[in-house]
């Protein structure tokens, strides 16, 4: 397998298998570096009781384990479906070079997986959000940041 089409077809196959074997939702992701699959991930929310266990998040964690790093430089993430805001955030933090997906947000919403609520919430002022959100401006709220700035042996990320 050497091109985007082959890898993205594989994610659709894995996503379909993830449903058929009762493991979780209809989503899968693959991470490729230098033409080779280094990790896969499938939706495992209900089987692992982890609401963050979306396919892309699982694949990113597995790829980082495989590469022994917390950055996916030069990697490509293939996802069976356009990433939700949580996964897109995770992808940006992990810094791969490219994202390829098959089904899009509209396809997902038609199947009952609508993440437009979350996209909308991210853009609303805090006071207007669906989950009550409160800022408490503690006097020492920046103490952890000050400690970080002064900590000599920190590992930047």
Residues 52-111 that bind its own copies (CB under 8 A): 52, 57, 60-61, 64-65, 68-72, 80-82, 84-104, 107-108, 110-111
Task: Compute the least distance from the CB of residue 74 to its own copies, in Å.
Answer: 12
User: Which of 22, 34, 36, 128 lies at the binding interface for its own copies (CB under 8 A)?
Assistant: 22
Tell me the number of residues near its own copies by CB under 8 A: 88
Q: Which lies closer to its own copies via its Cβ, residue 36 or residue 139?
A: 139
Task: Compute the least distance from the CB of residue 33 to its own copies, in Å.
Answer: 15
Q: Which lies closer to its own copies via its Cβ, residue 36 or residue 51?
A: 51
Distance (Å, whole) CA 5 – CA 102: 10
Q: Which lies closer to its own copies via its Cβ, residue 36 or residue 57?
A: 57
Question: Is residue 66 within a helix (H) or strand (E), and if so which, with residue range?
Answer: helix 55-67
Task: Compute the least distance from the CB of residue 86 to its own copies, in Å.
Answer: 3
Per-residue 3-state assignment (H helix, E strand, C coil) for 109-121: HHCCCCCHHHHHH
6 binds its own copies (CB under 8 A): no
Catalytic residue status for 56: yes
Pairing of strands 75-81, 98-103: parallel
Distance (Å, whole) CA 38 – CA 61: 11
Active-site position among 17, 56, 82, 132: 56
Nearest to 40 by CA among 66, 63, 9: 63
Question: What's the token pair of residue 3?
Answer: 């091109």
Per-residue 3-state assignment (H helix, E strand, C coil) for 38-97: EEEEECCCCCCCCCCCCHHHHHHHHHHHHHCCCCCCCEEEEEEECCCHHHHHHHHHHCCC
29 binds its own copies (CB under 8 A): no
Residues 114-133 that bind its own copies (CB under 8 A): 117-119, 121-123, 131-133
Residues with a known catalytic role: 56
């Amino acid at each position: 397998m050497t091109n985007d089409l082959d890898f993205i077809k594989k994610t659709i196959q894995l996503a379909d298998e993830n449903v058929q074997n009762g493991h979780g939702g209809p989503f899968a992701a693959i991470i490729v570096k230098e033409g080779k699959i280094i990790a896969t991930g499938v939706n495992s929310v209900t089987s692992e009781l982890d609401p963050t266990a979306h396919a892309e998040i699982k694949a990113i964690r597995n790829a980082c384990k495989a590469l022994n790093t917390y950055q996916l430089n030069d990697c490509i993430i293939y996802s069976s479906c356009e990433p939700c805001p949580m996964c897109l955030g995770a992808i940006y933090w992990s810094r791969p070079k490219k994202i390829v997906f098959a089904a899009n947000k509209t396809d997902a919403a038609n199947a009952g997986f609508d993440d437009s609520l979350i996209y909308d919430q991210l853009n609303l002022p805090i006071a207007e959000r669906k989950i009550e959100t409160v800022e408490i401006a503690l006097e020492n709220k920046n103490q952890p940041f000050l400690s970080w700035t002064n900590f000599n042996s920190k590992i930047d990320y």
